[in-house]
Chain A
Amino acid sequence: MAEARLVICKFCDCVYQRAPLGAREIARCSQCGAELYHWRRIDIDAMLALNIAALFAFVIANLFPIAIVQSQGRASESNLWQAIIASFSEGAAPIGALAAMTVFFFPLLQLCLFFYVLAPLRSARRPRAFVAVMHALRQMQPWAMVEVFMLGVLVAVVKLGDVASVTPLTGAYGFAALTLLLTLLNSYDLRELWDRASALPA
């Protein structure tokens, strides 16, 4: 019933037979020009390494203050959670909740679930809750916005630069590293993990 060698363009419904790709090649739909699948730059071992590195970057980004602001002899520094709590106490709870979800919970959950899937698959075992976890990963992907937050840090630092002295701190560098690692991780096509898992004996 299932046709493993076929691939359907999700943008225009065209059917293709899979062909092996060379280095840096991308298979594109000839009808609409969308990408069908791309050459895998990183293998599953590298993915797992990136995933673990990203978890460390996540801890650094969230434990350390993002920036310190000095003005008229007073200083204030803050990390992500202090920012979220401040939004709540200043009467903008929806925005605080949004930041908590998109910059903290979704990325953290993404990293943990990726680890849960990748570590067993690497040693050719299928994790127990594979199906549920893969669905969760797919649904979370558009709502994790660490890279946008990173740009927000830059804009905030520059905006404040005129009225006070602002210095980005360890947390900002943690977010920069996390942005880079998450971008690499998210370039991985989840469908490949599905194919890999279904090739394993049940």
Chain B
Amino acid sequence: MSAPLRAASLGLVGCEACGLVIKAPAVDCAGYCPRCDEPLHRRKRASLQRSWAFLIAAAVLYIPANVLPIMRTQQLLDRYDSTILSGVALLWHNGAYDLAIIVFTASIMVPVLKILSLAYLLISTQRGSAAHARQRTRLYRIVDYIGHWSMLDVFVVVLLVTLVHFGALASVEPLPGVIAFGAVVILTMMASMSFDPRLIWDATPPATEPETQTPARP
């Protein structure tokens, strides 16, 4: 199957907002969409710089998000600060294996894999790599799709704070770690929104059709 033509080589540009395809002669900034007034760009503006900035901020905040406790449980004289990881361990210890796995995936695996995947995508794109373009695009789609599920632990803390409210008997308090964690999730979402996957394909040559390629010598 022959490779389809690219919009950039045809002088076409698609509107990010409404999907309209427009003929645009200008190379860089192509004006405004006639249907929805959105500024048209062939590629997201300053995509790599913006994405790096959000990603580095997320990676820095990732440390306090995991080291600092996210909530304090108080029962009579017993006081217990829990981090993200100790919350998972507690669920596991109590036999809620399915939920422990869900929380572990959403709160620990997803943020780490997201930061690492985005760093890999940014570095490989910056180096102009043309390898595994299809897989890298898929990786980007996955990262973009799962982003907001990491907010799970933040919502759990919000709910526990209000549900466990028995004065001196028992109470749950939010601690600063949860704020750092929420910020990490927002920043990684913004990093993946800023990244333009079309840059991956700009490094690849538009594949030539098989029949036009020179056949191998016998």
Binding site for B on A (CB under 8 A): 1-4, 6-8, 10-16, 29-34, 66-67, 69, 71-72, 74, 76-78, 82-84, 86-87, 90-92, 94-96, 98-99, 102-103, 131, 134-135, 138, 142-143, 145, 148-149, 151-156, 158-160, 162-164, 166, 190-191, 194-195, 198
8 residue pairs, one from A and one from B, having the closest CB atoms: A152-B155, A8-B14, A92-B174, A191-B19, A194-B18, A83-B162, A86-B162, A156-B159
The reply to whether B159 and A135 form a contact with Cβ atoms under 8 Å apart is no
Which B59-104 residues sit within 8 Å CB-CB of chain A?
75, 87, 90-91, 94, 96, 99, 102-103
Q: With A78-B162, A153-B159 known to touch, is A94 a contact of B182 (CB < 8 Å)? A: yes
Identify the closest chain A residue to B178 (Cβ): A95
Identify which of B94, B183, B193, B197 contacts A12 (C-beta below 8 A). B197
A10 to B3, CA, bound (A): 16
Binds A, one of B32-40, B111-119, B123-131: B32-40
Alpha-carbon distance between A188 and B158 when the two chains are bound, in angstroms: 31
- Minimum CB–CB distance from B83 to chain A (whole Å) comes to 14
**Chain B 151-194: CB-based contact to A (< 8 A → 1; otherwise 0):** 11111111111111110011001110011001100100100010
Indicate if the CB atoms of B161 and A194 lie closer than 8 Å. no
Instruction: Give the distance to chain B from A18, nearest Cβ to Cβ, in Å.
Output: 10
Q: Judge whether A87 and B169 touch: CB under 8 Å.
A: no
Q: Which of B19, B161, B169, B189 contacts A83, CB < 8 Å?
A: B161
Contact present for A14 and B7 (CB under 8 Å) = yes
Which of B20, B36, B158, B161 has the most chain A CB atoms inside 10 A of its CB?
B158
Partner of B166, one of A72, A99, A142: A72
